[in-house]
Amino acid sequence: MRNESLSEAFRPALNVIFPLEETMVGIDFGKPLFTSEEIQRKIHELGSRISLDYAEKDLLVVGVLKGALFFMSDLLRSLRISVRMDFIHCTSSKGSHPVQIIADMKEDIRGKDILLIEDIMDSGVTIDHLKKMLLDRNPASLKVCVLLDKAERRKVPIEADYAGFRIPNKYVVGYGLDYKDRYRNLPYIAVLPMEERQA
């Protein structure tokens, strides 16, 4: 049998295993809160604004790992200016030290224009902590860009300079956002059903 015939013979089975529409086996939560297309449109809007604001500046973009990885990658590709990048890896907890720095950035930011990138701002505790930490290093400027803003959850008085979508107080996953380090690779953003969190 020719290769073309084999391909045609297995196509129905392949479509079952790898559906053509934007779903993933075992983690399809129904209608996305934001589709891949909506996310990319919003990122291009943010990219245009940032490109204009920093057109005459030497911008250093700092991503907060792990959640901001997908957002930062696409945002950088949407910019029309040359930038440099670095990362901070941190975790949050409910203890006396709500933010733990796992790996600090390498760049000396004194006198530089910094754009801090996060996937979501909810309580604001993590971003507030990181802003204060970075401001102590005397950058020329420091702004914050987030994809999602969950204002209902805010615990500290802080707002992003650039924000993509405002969302309700729901637990969301996908496009870098996780639950117990799962679901980050979803190409869209969806509300995680309560039964998934109880599994």
Nearest Cα neighbor of 165 from 68, 34, 72 is 34
pLDDT digits (tens, 9 = 90+) for 95-151: 667 899 999 999 999 999 999 999 999 999 999 999 999 999 999 999 999 999 999
The CATH architecture one would assign to domain 35-170 is: 3-Layer(aba) Sandwich (3.40)
Where in the chain are the domains?
A: 35-170
pLDDT > 90: percent of the chain:
76
Under 8 Å between Cβ of 77 and 61 = no
Question: 113, 122, 128, 149: which is the annotated catalytic residue?
Answer: 122
The predicted structure's pLDDT at residue 193: 84
d(CA 14, CA 76): 34
**Known catalytic residue: 122?**
yes
Q: What is the pLDDT of residues 172-193, one digit of tens each?
A: 999 999 999 999 999 999 999 8
